């Protein structure tokens, strides 16, 4: 037994030495799977620990104990906690999140429509904020300690300081109420053209862009500044390479790891953290769906939304780690 264990350790070390890049990627994949499993336990147990009871909420305060017991038996709430968790996890792994207690419809089908709306909103916000943040970060570096750099920093600090709901209500007041050039609420439905959808989500998209743009821009600026004093940057300047061209061609690619990390974190926020924005703009996405479910204590919906949000967050962070690993030349070209 000891000999086989030592043999396994030796072969594992040899694999890491020969394939350090692949070994680190596999390690990140394994850690992400374990983390998601742990999060699923926390979500299920946390929802179960919430005060109150769906049967009582559904039937009202005048419900008889027998009626409450019948509802609980019908929903399977009288079974042991571990049994219900493994049944729920097994169904979730197959894409089946059960049936909504409130509407009696398939949770998976309802989430399919809502998730598509949230991803569309997040994609539009990311398509604007990511390139704009990187560009503004490079502009701030090029004009560092000058007027343009200070203006960008002041505006970004102001955007970071304001909460999402305040920015959202401010945009509604300005563009929807006073100017009348934007749509509120941000209602989308099947059959709308892409132009109509983009018009409907203009305000929530602008809110999300203002929220995440400042973080990504400041991190881009800091990451590029950290490599500006490197020897290869001095060599590029001595060769007569223009300052902005040197930033784009030499500094930005070598600062890709921290930039990718902050972009991935903000992408995760765009999908996971849209709850407040969707509620403010009455947008039919995952966030609004989960808030409605919490209101009526529809636990299968709350658990499914929580697990999907956690999976998206973990997946994007894992991708950021893998990209940072692949971008490391020491791992791509081991000696």
Q: In terms of pLDDT, which residue wins out, 195 or 59? A: 195
The pLDDT confidence band at residue 181, using thresholds 50, 70 and 90, is confident
Q: What's the CATH fold of domain 111-332?
A: MetI-like fold (1.10.3720)
Q: Where are the domains of the chain?
A: 111-332
DSSP string, 177-230: IIS--S-SS----TT--HHHHHHHTHHHHHHHHHHHHHHHHHHHHHHHHHHHTS
Q: In terms of pLDDT, which residue wins out, 174 or 153? A: 174
Among 128-132, 226-230, 302-306, the range scoring the smallest mean pLDDT is 226-230
pLDDT for the residue numbered 248: 61
The pLDDT confidence band at residue 330, using thresholds 50, 70 and 90, is low
Residue 62 in this model has a pLDDT that exceeds 70: no
Residue 327 in this model has a pLDDT that exceeds 60: yes
pLDDT for the residue numbered 247: 63
Mean of per-residue pLDDT scores for the chain: 76
The pLDDT confidence band at residue 185, using thresholds 50, 70 and 90, is confident
How far apart are alpha carbons 297 and 55 in whole angstroms? 9
Residue 131 in this model has a pLDDT that exceeds 60: yes
How far apart are alpha carbons 294 and 279 in whole angstroms? 13
Residue 294 in this model has a pLDDT that exceeds 60: yes
pLDDT for the residue numbered 288: 81
Among 34-43, 144-153, 305-314, the range scoring the smallest mean pLDDT is 144-153
pTM recorded for the entire structure: 0.74
State the average pLDDT over residues 206-221: 82
Residue carrying the six token digits 């409605």: 292
pLDDT for the residue numbered 251: 61
For 263, counting Cβ atoms within 10 Å of its Cβ (0-12 exposed, 13-18 middle, 19+ buried), the class is buried
Residue 116 in this model has a pLDDT that exceeds 60: yes
């Amino acid at each position: 037994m000891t000999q086989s264990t030592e043999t396994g350790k030796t072969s594992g070390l040899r694999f890491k030495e020969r394939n350090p890049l692949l070994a680190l990627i596999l390690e990140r994949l394994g850690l992400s799977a374990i983390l998601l499993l742990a999060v699923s336990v926390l979500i299920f147990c946390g929802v179960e620990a919430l005060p109150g009871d769906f049967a009582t909420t559904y039937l009202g305060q005048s419900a008889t104990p027998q009626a409450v017991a019948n509802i609980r038996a019908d929903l399977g709430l009288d079974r042991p906690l571990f049994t219900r968790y493994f049944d729920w996890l097994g169904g979730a792994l197959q894409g089946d999140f059960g049936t909504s207690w409130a509407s009696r419809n398939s949770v998976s089908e309802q989430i399919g429509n809502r998730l598509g709306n949230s991803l569309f909103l997040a994609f539009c916000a990311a398509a604007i904020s990511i390139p704009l943040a990187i560009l503004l970060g490079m502009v701030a570096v090029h004009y560092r300690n000058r007027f343009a750099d200070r203006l960008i920093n002041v505006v970004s600090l102001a955007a970071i300081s304001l909460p999402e709901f305040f920015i959202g209500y401010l945009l509604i007041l300005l563009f929807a109420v006073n100017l009348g050039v934007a749509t509120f609420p941000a209602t989308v439905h099947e059959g709308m053209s892409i132009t109509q959808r983009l018009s409907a989500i203009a305000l929530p998209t602008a809110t999300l862009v203002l929220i995440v743009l400042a973080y990504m821009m400041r991190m881009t600026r800091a990451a590029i500044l950290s490599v500006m004093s490197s020897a290869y940057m001095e060599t590029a300047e001595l060769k007569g390479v223009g300052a902005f061209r040197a930033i784009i061609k030499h500094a930005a690619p070598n600062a890709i790891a921290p930039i990718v990390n902050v972009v991935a974190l903000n992408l995760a926020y765009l999908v996971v953290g849209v709850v407040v924005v969707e509620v403010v703009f009455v947008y039919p996405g995952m966030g609004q769906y989960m808030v409605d479910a919490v209101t009526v204590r529809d636990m299968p919906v709350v658990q499914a939304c929580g697990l999907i949000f956690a999976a998206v967050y973990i997946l994007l962070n894992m991708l950021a780690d893998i990209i940072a690993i692949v971008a490391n030349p020491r791992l791509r070209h081991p000696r």
